[in-house]
Amino acid sequence: MNKLTQEHIEELFAFTQKHYVEWYDLQSELVDHLANGIEHQWQEDPDLSFEKALQIEFKKFGVFGFMDVVEERQKSLGKKYSKLIWKHTLEFFKLPKILLLILFSVATFYLLRLISVSADYLSAVIVILFIGYFVKLSVSYFRERKRSQESDEKKWLFKDIIMQHGAGFGLGLIPIHFFNMLIPNTNSFASMNLWVVGIISFLFVLMCVMLYVIQVVIPKKMEEYLEETYPEYKLVA
């Protein structure tokens, strides 16, 4: 029976990259799948050429080629990333971090009660926070991309999701949806119901906590999460 050579394996990696799979983890999975399929074909037809066998295997992925596989893996790792955000955010609801959450919520409450401006100003602060969020996101992502290109290191899908903050932006918007429901923009916080101001203060601090988790906590632990996700990461990174 024919066996795939190292040269064949390298051709399979090049083939996956040519078809828009740029992440080493997905390339490895697809190469393994293609290699098994090709060797299975050779069991039935030893005279079949490598190129012909490869095209037969590739056609099994359908009209969109590897894109469906990429999308499924992005969804799966996106959910994993969202769970990490919630995991670290919920840590602020346990001692001793919950004391900081309460302290900043109370401080925000009294600050909002003291100012006599309309709630539009809080919305402006939120907009500024998210502009800063996107600026830092863009700078970090392009800096990391440039570094990886210069060093020619392998790309990993989960690393890209973390660097781009994946679903983090959508989760960070959750408190803002509550702001829109609770804040009558024409009123000042001094004239609002105390409970409403209290909830707004808490949601504002919660949004800041989530941004902190996305921007600082998870990136600091990125290597740990990559090694947990990819057992081979330390060997080939």
CA separation for the pair 198, 95 (Å, rounded) = 21
Residue 46 per-residue DSSP state: T
Q: Per residue in 54-103, pLDDT tens? A: 999 999 998 888 999 999 999 999 999 999 999 999 999 999 999 999 99
Asked if residue 1 is part of any domain, the answer here is no
Asked if residue 201 is part of any domain, the answer here is yes
Whether pLDDT at 184 is above 60? no
* Statement to judge: residues 190 and 162 lie in one domain: yes
Burial class (CB in 10 A: 0-12, 13-18, 19+), 232: exposed
Length of the chain (residues): 237
Q: Per residue in 21-38, pLDDT tens? A: 999 999 999 999 999 999
CA separation for the pair 166, 77 (Å, rounded) = 9
* Statement to judge: residues 41 and 100 lie in one domain: no
* Statement to judge: residues 206 and 137 lie in one domain: yes
Asked if residue 126 is part of any domain, the answer here is yes
DSSP per position, 65-88 = TTHHHHHHHHHHHHHHHHHHHHHH
pLDDT above 70 covers a percentage of the chain that reads 76
* Statement to judge: residues 122 and 200 lie in one domain: yes
Asked if residue 56 is part of any domain, the answer here is yes
Asked if residue 22 is part of any domain, the answer here is yes
Of 64-73, 114-123, 207-216, least confident by mean pLDDT is: 114-123
Q: How many of the other CB atoms lie within 10 Å of CB of 96?
A: 7
Residue 114 CB partners (closer than 8 Å, separation 6+):
190
Phi, psi values for residue 188, rounded to 5° = -90, 160
Q: Which domain holds residue 56?
A: 6-65
Tokens 């840590």 appear where? 91
Q: Which of 36, 65, 94 is the last residue of a domain?
A: 65
Give the pLDDT band (50/70/90) at residue 229.
very high
* Statement to judge: residues 176 and 218 lie in one domain: yes
* Statement to judge: residues 15 and 125 lie in one domain: no
* Statement to judge: residues 88 and 44 lie in one domain: no
* Statement to judge: residues 105 and 17 lie in one domain: no
Domain count, the chain: 2
More reliable by pLDDT, 88 or 123: 88
The overall average pLDDT reported for the chain is 83
Whether pLDDT at 129 is above 80? no
Q: Which of 65, 94, 113 is the last residue of a domain?
A: 65
Q: How many of the other CB atoms lie within 10 Å of CB of 13?
A: 16
The structure tokens listed for 25 are 């983890």
* Statement to judge: residues 213 and 104 lie in one domain: yes
* Statement to judge: residues 184 and 77 lie in one domain: yes
Pick from 85-99, 111-125, 146-160, 178-192 the range whose average pLDDT is largest. 85-99
Say what the pTM is: 0.79
Asked if residue 185 is part of any domain, the answer here is yes
Q: Per residue in 9-24, pLDDT tens? A: 999 999 999 999 999 9
Can you give the pLDDT at residue 139?
Answer: 73
Asked if residue 20 is part of any domain, the answer here is yes
* Statement to judge: residues 122 and 202 lie in one domain: yes
More reliable by pLDDT, 131 or 179: 131
CA separation for the pair 132, 121 (Å, rounded) = 17
